[in-house]
Structures are given as structure tokens and as C-alpha cells.
């Protein structure tokens, strides 16, 4: 998950409601990795970043290293608002800050690639995972917005 639009350049996170370990990757405005924090599942301790523009959450032991570079294709990720609806058409959540929902198929591939990278610890598997993540993000950015009628409108 990629977090953007912080109130300042020192965002903090905690893991108290997260069921697995994660690597939290702090990125500057040029997508350079400037800090990596190893988040432990269920830990309520605040995890603080300084001078970051983005924070990327990935599976623990991702193999991402400080000084590496990332890339985002779309600078304007905040122009749409997505409403997540429950089965009755009531809004459960507003997604406004460039948050993304990944399809089930993409999630299966992401999990498979993350597991393979985690087990092998080989750079090629981590690179394959990273390339796939950016492919998914680029695909999302290139699709036209989709609108689904709420059950209330039928």
C-alpha cells in the first residue's frame, strides 16, 4: 500500500491492528528509498519517519534497500473519489488520497510473488515482485473510471 498526502513530512504509523510483519519504506519526492522501518505485527509503538513524501508498506524482509529508486507514472493520483459500498448501497468508506484497491486476480499474483521472494531471498524474485506491483499501478492509472449503480438506484 502506498501512503501519500501527509499533514507534514514526519508521518508516523503503528502496527497494533496489523496481523503480519511489514517493511515500511520511506521515499522522498524523487522516489528514492531514504528509510526502512521493520514493523512488527500487533506492535502499538509509533513508527516515525522524517523528511518523506511517500511511505510504501510491503511484506517483511522485502529486500528493498536504502538508496534504491522507485517510480510512479502518474503525478496526479488524487483527482477521483471512490466510494466503497456495502451490499445495501450505503457508503462504507471514501478513498480520496490515491488509495488503490487491487483486483482478486492481481492480489493472488502479488501474494504468490511475495511468498516466492520471501522464501528464496533472491534479488531476482524481489525485482519480479516490484516490477509486477508497478505494472498493476500503471494499469490502474491507465484505465477509465468505472461507475457501478448502487443497489439503491436499481
| pLDDT tens sequence across 88-126 | 667 776 666 555 667 778 888 888 899 999 899 999 999
Q: Write the pLDDT tens digit of every residue in 5-20.
A: 777 778 889 898 888 8
pLDDT for the residue 33: 93
Q: Are residues 5 and 77 in the same domain?
A: no
Residues contacting residue 48 through CB under 8 Å, at least 6 positions apart? 10, 11, 12
Q: What are phi and psi of 65, to 5 degrees?
A: -125, 150
Question: What's the structural domain count of the chain?
Answer: 2
pTM for the structure as a whole: 0.48
Q: Are residues 10 and 37 in the same domain?
A: yes
Q: Write the pLDDT tens digit of every residue in 12-56.
A: 898 988 888 999 999 988 889 999 999 999 999 999 999 898 888
Q: Are residues 119 and 91 in the same domain?
A: yes
Amino acid at each position: 500500500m502506498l501512503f501519500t498526502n501527509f499533514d507534514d513530512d514526519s508521518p508516523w504509523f503503528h502496527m497494533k491492528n496489523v496481523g503480519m510483519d511489514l517493511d515500511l519504506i520511506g521515499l522522498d519526492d524523487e522516489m528514492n528509498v531514504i528509510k526502512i522501518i521493520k514493523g512488527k505485527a500487533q506492535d502499538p509503538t509509533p513508527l516515525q519517519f522524517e523528511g518523506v513524501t511517500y511511505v510504501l508498506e510491503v511484506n517483511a524482509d522485502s529486500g528493498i534497500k536504502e538508496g534504491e529508486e522507485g517510480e510512479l507514472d502518474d503525478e496526479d493520483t488524487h483527482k477521483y473519489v471512490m466510494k466503497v459500498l456495502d451490499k445495501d448501497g450505503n457508503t462504507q468508506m471514501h478513498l480520496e488520497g490515491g488509495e488503490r484497491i487491487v483486483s482478486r486476480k492481481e492480489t493472488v499474483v502479488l501474494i504468490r510473488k511475495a511468498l516466492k521472494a520471501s522464501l528464496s531471498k533472491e534479488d531476482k524474485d524481489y525485482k519480479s515482485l516490484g516490477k509486477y506491483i508497478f505494472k498493476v499501478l500503471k494499469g490502474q492509472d491507465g484505465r477509465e473510471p468505472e461507475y457501478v449503480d448502487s443497489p439503491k438506484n436499481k
